[in-house]
Structure formats: C-alpha cells, structure tokens
Structure 1
Amino acid sequence: MKRSNGCSALLLLICFAVLGCIQAVTLEVREKNSTCIKLELSAFFSITYNTSSSARTVQVPLPNTTTVDAASSSCGTDGSLPWLVATFGSGHALGLSFTSNGSLYSVDNLTLQYNLSDSSIFAEANSSDVVTVVSATVGIWAVINTTYHCVSAISVVAGGQMVTFSDMRLEAYMPGNELSSAETVCSADQASTTAPTTTARTPTTPTPEPTTPQRGTYSVSNNGTICFLAQMGLQLNFSYFSQSQNKTIQEIFNLTPNLTTSSGSCEDSRATLNLTQERSTTLSFIFTTNSTTNKYHLSGIILFANWSDMTVPFLAGNTSLDYMGTTLGRSYMCNAEQTFVVENFSLNTFRLQVQAFGVTSNHFSTAEECQMDQDQMLIPIIVGASLAGLVLIVLIAYLIGRKRSHAGYQTI
C-alpha cells in the first residue's frame, strides 16, 4: 500500500472472526532493531456499502491475524512522518501517521482502505473497488515519552465510516523498545471513576416495568466551542447470553448521566456523539446533512457493550437510518417517548432535544417539534373544540325550544 503525499495513514476494517468477538491486537514498527511505534488495542468497524437493491452496514472486529506492513511503515528517520501501516484479509489495511511538536505527539491522520471485492465481508456488493477514506480529526495525543492509554471506547468517523478503539495503549517516538510506564490517560478515562471493562457491572434481570431514565446533558466541543448539544433520557433494549444465568436474557438498560462521558467530532457534513458509561457501554449517534434540502438527520446508531456477564461483547448498529430530520440551524425536540429500532436492539428516548450543527453561544436554536408532540398538542385542542361545539349545539337547541314555547301562548 502506497502513501499519498506523505499525509495519509491507512486504516481498514474488516475481519474474518465472528461478529462481536472483539480481539486484542499488538502492532509495532521497527527500524534497525529498535521499536519506534507500538500499539496494543481492540477495535471494531462499521462500514456501509451498496448492493444492487439496498445499502448494507457491516460491523466486524479487527482480527488478531493483522500484521504490520514493513514496506509501508516507517519510523520517520528519513524526514517523513512516522507511519504504522497494518494489513489483513484481501486487500484491507489499517494505518496511522504521527506528528510531534517536541513535547507532545499525536495521530495526524487515520485512513481506512477496504476492498469491496472481498465477498466474505461485503456480500453482494455492487462494486469491486478498493475504497480509501481519511480522517484528520482523530483526537489521540500524549506527552512525549509517555504511553497514550484509553480503556474507554473512542470512535472516529472517516469518510462516512466509523472505527471504534478500546483498551488502547499506544506510543510513538519511543525512546526504548517497550511502552513507557508513564502514561497520558485519555479524557474519557479521567472522567470515569468506575472500574475497567473487565470488572464491569453484572446486569440483573430487569423489572417488567423499568423506570424512566434520567435526562442528561451531553456535548461535543471543537477548539473549545460547543458544536454538538443534546439533552435526553436514553434507554437500551437488547438481548445477550448471560454467563451467570446460562441463558439468553432481555436487558433493559438506562444510561445514567453522571456515570456517562461524551465525546465525538464535528465536521461540515457529519457530526458524531459518543456516550460511554462505566467504560463498558458505548452508544454512538451519527448525524449527516443534506445540502439539497438544507436539512440534517440521524443517520446512524451503534451500540457496543462489554459486560462481565456477557460470553461475548455485544456489537450492533446501522448507519443508513433516517430519523430526527430537521432544518439546519435549528434543533430537534421530542418530549414524547420515541422508539428507534436498530438491527438487534432498540433505543428509547425521553424528553429529547438535540442540535448537531449550527450551535451558537452554547444554546439550542429554535426547536422543530416531532410529529408525536404535535399530535399530543392537537388532542386537547380537538377535545376543547368538540366540547365547545357541543355547548353551542345545546344552547341553540335551548333557544329554539324556548322560542317555540313562547309562540304557543295567545295574547288576551
């Protein structure tokens, strides 16, 4: 795989393991018997592609058979940027490029290349192209001579596709062959005071009537300015195989705002909000714009859960949705309970207001209400009008009857 103008790295997705089996992968770049880049992580990807009849979304983990492409990877000793390029499968690759200002290093670009002719992943794809997408907004950085460490799941959108990392330890510009013991902990982990994924809560059997979730306020910032704002109560409904009960159970799970951290990205035509609770549950929302209609909508929802009671992590989602449509420059509001069905799970929202584009002064713009709220407002109006009509009919009938009663008397 070739580098393009020295500024792209290659990230790819796809794997041949069973869906949901998230695997740990270790990758390193070496030159002259020295390691300069080392990466340990688990990752899964969500890619949407077209068939002859519809769009499909696949979600698969990065396989443990992934290897570093020594010919494309580099420590940057020749004046170029350091590169880690990993390959797997039939023409797929994952790569990261790095930059440093002397005190910090960061992921400069993340690039995803995937081969649509690989029918084992892209069944019935209507194209055999090799597609490459790039994201220059990654948000991974650390102090020089420290290891970037992030247990929480973090998601990056590249050209409409999504990659999610978890249990990540990374170091570039390494002074030795092993990861530094000193760490730069990601902001998502700093905000969480709970135990890591491996000791996450063991869910109990839900009650028949679950409580309404608390309403939380979540945001995404770009250069210190809020660019994505949301307030909502969130409830997940999905099934998984429980180790403790040795059977498949139905879980109804409320996100708790004070245990949930938000992250994401804002781009011209795409905005992403990632909500992570207790480092073990990540719910991602993707909003996209339509320049033709001057509107935006919720186009993707992805859920990743890795609880100690699960035999395998739960992973499902869809990036071809069309929910919450509203006009650019306005927010979307729905106080009524909404249910969004997303492949193997469903999401309920309560007292929701969201604005993914055009947030100004850290406040929501004028809201466009959902149809359910509008219908609920119409009900009292219709009832009131009906009662007023009934009163009017009774009054008219009374007046007519009274007039006829007077007409029956003769003047003496």
Structure 2
Amino acid sequence: MVCFRLSPVPSSGLILFCLVLGAVQSYALELNLTDSGKATCLYAKWQMNFTIYYATTSNTTESVTISDLGTVTYNGSTCGDDENGPRIAVQFRSGFSWTANFTKAASTYSIDSISFSYNTSDNTTFPDAKDKGVVTFHDRVAVRIPLNEIFRCNSLSTLEDHDVVQNYWNVLVQAFVPNGTVSTKEYLCDKDNTSTTVSPIIHTTVPSPTTIPTPKEKPEIGNYSVSNGNGTCLLATMGLQLNITQDKVSSVININPSTTDFTGSCHSQTALLRLNSSTIKHLDFVFAMKNENRFYLKGVDISMYLANGSVFSIANNNLSYWDAPLGSSYMCNKEQTVSVSGAFQINTFDLRVQPFNVKEGKYSTAEECSADSDLNFLIPVAVGVALGFLIIVVFISYMIGRRKSRTGYQSV
C-alpha cells in the first residue's frame, strides 16, 4: 500500500490517501478522508475500469479500455460543509477525471451522482480521433444508505452511456462518518443481498453453490469480415460459445451467426471485429501486432443482456491468444477457451482468423494451434503403428505356416 499525506485544504482538513495496487484488469483505490480535527469524515475503497468508444477520421469506431489508472491525484476531494455534501474527486492518466457526490437526508445518505471526463485530444490514448476535446458524462445514481452504516457491493455494477461503459466492483463506502469511526454494520447492495439469514454465517472452505449450466451443443460456425477502402482487411471464421457467471448463476450461450451483425475497423497496428445482436450490445475482438512481425488477440470487450434482464459487461485488454506470424492466418479446429475473466470465458470451434495483410479477400497459409499440430502428428504415428502391427501379424502367420509345412515333410 502506498499512502499520500497531503497538506490541509479548506473545509476538509488533513487528507490521507492510500492507493492499493490491484490486479492487471483493475485499479483498487482506498481513501480515508479526514476533517480539520483529523477525524475520518469519509471512507471509500473500490475498483473500477472504463471502456470508451470514439469515432475516427476514417468514419470507423474504435474502443479503448482504461484499467490501469497510472498516477492518481485527488484534487477537489472534500468532507463537505453546510451547503455542499462530501465529494470524491480522482484525476488520472492524461485528462481523465472521475467524481462521486454524496448527499444527506434525515435518516439516510446517498451516492447521488457520478461524473466521468476524458480528453480525446490525447492522441496516445485516442489515436485518429475525429472530434477533439473534453467529453463529460453525468450519471444519477441515487443509492440510499442508512446513516451510520457502510455500503458494500462486491458484485459488478455498470453505468453505460452511448460511448462509455463504467464498471465498478468491490465497493465499500461510508460518507458522513459519525465521531470519526467507520461503521462495522454493512448495508449490502441488491446484487450482494441475494439471500437473507437469521443466524450468523460461519465461513468455511466449502465453496458457495453455483448453478451448473446445462451442456450446450456445438455452436454454428459463422463467417465474419471487415472491409476498408482497400477491400477486405480482416477475416474470421468461428463458432462461438459464451460462458457467463453472474450472481453465482452460470449460463452457456451459443452465438447464432444468422442473427448476428458484424462491423469493425483496420489500422496499421490494430484491428477490431465487433459482433452485435438483439441481446448482445457489443462483443469486440481487438487484435494487435507484436514485435512488428506477429499478431495476436489483445482484448475482448462484451456488454449484453442476460435472460433476467440485467446487463453483463466486462473487458480485458491484456490478453495474449491466437498468436501467428504476419502474412498468415491463425487456425484451430479443436475447441479452445479464451479466458477473459473469472466470470467470462469464450469457447471457440473451427477457428480461423486473419486480422492483417488479407490479400484478395482470402485467407493466407494457416499457422495451426498446438492442439491441431499434436493431432496432425499423432495421425501418421498411429498409421505407422498399425502398419507395423500388421507386418508383425503377417510375419508370425508366415512363420507358423512354414513350420507346419516342415513338420509335414518329416513325417513322409
């Protein structure tokens, strides 16, 4: 844990910020905000990431996932006063800012609203952006929590606008802390509060029960492509099966190519294939170059409606699958699993992709996956073993027959 002790600021006193480095896909933040008397007035700990979609000068849509916040500052965070409620303000990377505002009623307090801003003038984060400038989104949250209780929500919560998907999880927050002591009584969000108990729960090493999905048949194989001004620039052929776990319930969903639309974009270093349907808001496959001579699947981003009406969203831009030399395609006929997160995996069947250097709209020579290579190696070995066994049988039969012939001659 890295702590930053800042000098006193007006109306909020001494502020102590503790930053906890989280997993690759997220950035865990912990904040203990104190007033002028050095008493805690607000405590928060949470994880978040963002996926932003923007238009390019070539009239395509690109996406960028912000999971590593980099260097973080907290200018503008305050305990609040008689006129304004507490506020958490976070600044990170180049031109990004995030703010959460709190309000108070007679017996409750609220996470009232969340604001998120970014600057598309940053060419490193938003290459080839068509519109330059600061973009800000305001979302009303209005989560009401009883006073003197701390709010907890370990489940994934998503705020989604047209161009931005905000993901939050492992949230723990209490505003208006009485007497500087953070409460031990928790108020759970609806997703966490899936069951009620009368007696205390004793945690053991036995895992929580999870609904096991009914096995699905093999999905239909779909053919997808992306074109630019020079013709087809990306090809993909694959059967896709989505494995999703949310609120301890697992589901398996086969993608039907006949009811699935596809778009995308191609650039010198990256390529994007986007699938969408009536239930899938977007399923993005992001490809990138490696060492200027290979390509690989770098990221997957999904947002879709589940059967219960909830929205499932997750993104991971730190993958490393489907690696092959530039100028070739990647092929794997056997079933493969792309593990996007603990809650989301994709099974692929009869896969073949080529996101760069497509010529005349056709696949180039394929680089086979290890599973297929092992199969191709085993086939001639098996044939050789069978032939060897046949030769041995023939030889033994010949020797037995010859011995019988000798025995007959001796008797004469």
TM-score, normalization: structure 1? Answer: 0.52
Instruction: Output the CA distance in 2 between the equivalents of 1:357 and 1:295.
Output: 10
**Equivalent residue for 1:259?**
259
| Aligned mate of 1:341, from 314, 336, 339 | 339
Identity, in percent, stands at 28
Structure 2 CA distance for partners of 1:319 and 1:225, relative to 1, 3 Å = same
Matched, 1:361 2:360: yes
| Aligned mate of 1:231, from 232, 237, 252 | 237
One-letter code of the match for 1:386? Answer: V
TM superposition shift of 1:410:
4.2
Is contact 1:19–1:315 with CA below 8 Å preserved after alignment? no
Written as runs of structure 1 = structure 2, the 5 A alignment for 1:2-401 is 45-48=65-68, 87-88=97-98, 93-96=117-120, 111=122, 132-136=124-128, 166-167=161-162, 208-223=214-229, 225-241=231-247, 248-278=248-278, 280-291=280-291, 294-307=293-306, 309-311=308-310, 313-344=311-342, 345-401=344-400
Instruction: Tell me which moved more, 206-215 or 251-260.
Output: 206-215
TM superposition shift of 1:378:
3.7
Instruction: Output the CA distance in 2 between the equivalents of 1:50 and 1:363.
Output: 41
Deviations 1:300-322 (A, max 9, x none): 222222447345x3222322222
- 2:65 match: secondary structure: strand
Which one scores higher on RCO, CA 8 angstroms, separation ≥ 6?
1
One-letter code of the match for 1:252? Answer: V
Deviations 1:379-408 (A, max 9, x none): 443332222111100111122233334444
Is contact 1:240–1:250 with CA below 8 Å preserved after alignment? yes
Structure 2 CA distance for partners of 1:48 and 1:376, relative to 1, 3 Å = farther
Instruction: Output the CA distance in 2 between the equivalents of 1:383 and 1:350.
Output: 25
One-letter code of the match for 2:337? Answer: T
One-letter code of the match for 2:341? Answer: E
- 1:218 match: secondary structure: strand
Instruction: Output the CA distance in 2 between the equivalents of 1:261 and 1:65.
Output: 40
- 2:125 match: secondary structure: strand
TM superposition shift of 1:135:
1.5
One-letter code of the match for 2:118? Answer: L
Is contact 2:327–2:358 with CA below 8 Å preserved after alignment? yes
Deviations 1:1-28 (A, max 9, x none): xxxxxxxxxxxx99989768999xxxxx
- 2:67 match: secondary structure: strand
Instruction: Output the CA distance in 2 between the equivalents of 1:316 and 1:332.
Output: 25
Instruction: Output the CA distance in 2 between the equivalents of 1:209 and 1:306.
Output: 20
Is contact 2:27–2:47 with CA below 8 Å preserved after alignment? no
Deviations 1:252-276 (A, max 9, x none): 1122223222222222222121212
Is contact 1:206–1:252 with CA below 8 Å preserved after alignment? no
Deviations 1:127-177 (A, max 9, x none): xxxxx523215699xxxxxxxxxxxxxxxxxxxxxxx985359xxxxxxxx
Instruction: Output the CA distance in 2 between the equivalents of 1:410 and 1:224.
Output: 86
Structure 2 CA distance for partners of 1:329 and 1:227, relative to 1, 3 Å = same
TM superposition shift of 1:47:
3.4
Structure 2 CA distance for partners of 1:47 and 1:216, relative to 1, 3 Å = same
TM superposition shift of 1:45:
3.5
**Equivalent residue for 1:33?**
none
Instruction: Output the CA distance in 1 between the equivalents of 2:308 and 2:325.
Output: 42
Instruction: Output the CA distance in 1 between the equivalents of 2:306 and 2:244.
Output: 13
Is contact 1:255–1:277 with CA below 8 Å preserved after alignment? no
Q: Where do 5+ consecutive residues of structure 2 fail to align?
A: 1-25, 30-44, 52-62, 72-86, 101-115, 133-158, 165-210
Is contact 2:219–2:256 with CA below 8 Å preserved after alignment? yes
Is contact 2:215–2:252 with CA below 8 Å preserved after alignment? no
Instruction: Output the CA distance in 1 between the equivalents of 2:397 and 2:291.
Output: 60
Structure 2 CA distance for partners of 1:65 and 1:315, relative to 1, 3 Å = farther
One-letter code of the match for 2:219? Answer: P
Is contact 1:272–1:287 with CA below 8 Å preserved after alignment? yes
Instruction: Output the CA distance in 2 between the equivalents of 1:94 and 1:354.
Output: 33
TM-score, normalization: structure 2? Answer: 0.52
Is contact 1:274–1:284 with CA below 8 Å preserved after alignment? yes
Structure 2 CA distance for partners of 1:404 and 1:206, relative to 1, 3 Å = closer
- 1:94 match: secondary structure: strand
Deviations 1:282-327 (A, max 9, x none): 22112221236x221112222222447345x322232222211111
One-letter code of the match for 2:297? Answer: L
Residue-pair matches, total: 254
- 2:233 match: secondary structure: strand
Is contact 1:261–1:277 with CA below 8 Å preserved after alignment? yes
One-letter code of the match for 1:217? Answer: N
One-letter code of the match for 1:256? Answer: N
Instruction: Output the CA distance in 2 between the equivalents of 1:376 and 1:212.
Output: 20
Instruction: Output the CA distance in 1 between the equivalents of 2:131 and 2:382.
Output: 54
- 1:134 match: secondary structure: coil
TM superposition shift of 1:329:
0.6
Instruction: Output the CA distance in 2 between the equivalents of 1:261 and 1:341.
Output: 23
Is contact 1:301–1:319 with CA below 8 Å preserved after alignment? yes
Larger radius of gyration: 2
